[in-house]
Structure 1
Amino acid sequence: MGIKSFQGKRTAVLKKETEPILVSDYMTKNLITFSKNQSLEDVIATLVANRISGGPVVNENNELIGIISEGDCIKHISESRYYNLPVDKDNTVERAMATEVETIDGNMNIFDAANQFLKSKRRRFPILENGKLIGQISQKDILKAALKMKGNSWK
């Protein structure tokens, strides 16, 4: 006589397919942006007041034309000091911003985006749709996404 199972009838375990977690799910949509004609003094005040490390520079059509960062502002301050000049209030974002900007797709998987951060050594990536700025993802946004995930759902 065999051993009787007290667990009852076993049913096949259905694996629940997890939806990919996309950059667009975690990107910041309400951005502080700058214009190319803004003074660096204004940018510095905005960065400090909002506790951000940089932001996209857009034209009047909300098209991305560059990125301005704390590093760009510090470089300007350092160069002024090196040449023993006062910080020029007429210096504009256009003179200091980085114009070659890497962007990523909002439909990219969050893990692929994390890998992109590691490869590029950037702190933020703008996200464009039809040439217009729609958001930005930062390294901190990637960390927030990771905290919300369970260890067994990482794929």
Structure 2
Amino acid sequence: MKIKDFMITDVISVTESTSVKELLEILVSNKIGGVPIANDEGKLLGVISDGDVIRYLQPKGRTVYDMFSLVLVSEQEGLEERLTYSLDFPVSKMMRTKEIYTLKPNQELEDALTIFSKHPFKKLPVVNDQQKVIGVISRGDVLRFIYNRIIEK
């Protein structure tokens, strides 16, 4: 079974300049937990998940000095202050650009299972040979595919 047989092709993605506020609106309104970040041509630049946003907003007792806006954020600040401070930031400040796993449409279901079993990712981008995002696959997609095609057949 190939990735292209069950990947979601109606991909919701954002650009590096998308604000945190816009990202949150997209995640909440579409009931999704993350999106790929692509350039104007659709080439994958990074990924961002709800977990990345939460980790960014809760720096676990460390002080963050933001050179861009020259503002000091301390652990004593409340969530509302951190949110207000961060809402207009571009997602490029918190997106992941390293250790991004992708799938190709002609890879096998087992390749997705291997990645999901070894890493805590909830969603993986599917890219073509030019690294353009052409789909996404989530853990839930894999489980639904297994259930519908193997168990319920």
Change beyond 3 A, Cα 1:81–1:46:
farther
Change beyond 3 A, Cα 1:55–1:131:
same
Q: CA separation in 2, counterparts of 1:137 and 1:54?
A: 11
Corresponding residue to 1:95 among 93, 96, 116: 93
Residue of structure 1 equivalent to 2:110: 111
Cα shift at 1:121:
2.3
Residue of structure 2 equivalent to 1:144: 144
Runs of 4+ that moved beyond 4 A: none
Deviations 1:44-92 (A, max 9, x none): 1211111100000000110000101101111232246725144223311
Q: Unmatched 5+ residue regions in structure 2? A: 60-72
Q: CA separation in 2, counterparts of 1:120 and 1:31?
A: 22
Q: CA separation in 2, counterparts of 1:47 and 1:83?
A: 27
Give percent identity, aligned residues only: 27
Spell out the pairing of 1:6-155 with structure 2 (5 A cutoff): 21-79=1-59, 82-84=75-77, 85-87=81-83, 88=85, 89-100=87-98, 101-129=100-128, 130-151=130-151
Residue of structure 1 equivalent to 2:69: none
Cα shift at 1:148:
1.8
Change beyond 3 A, Cα 1:22–1:81:
farther
Change beyond 3 A, Cα 1:22–1:42:
same
Deviations 1:105-141 (A, max 9, x none): 2112213321221012211111111221111111111
The count of aligned residue pairs is 132
Q: Could you state the TM-score of these two structures normalised by the residue count of structure 1?
A: 0.77
Q: CA separation in 2, counterparts of 1:83 and 1:48?
A: 27
Q: Unmatched 5+ residue regions in structure 1? A: 1-20
Q: Could you state the TM-score of these two structures normalised by the residue count of structure 2?
A: 0.78
Change beyond 3 A, Cα 1:86–1:111:
closer
Q: What amino acid maps onto 2:141 in structure 1?
A: D
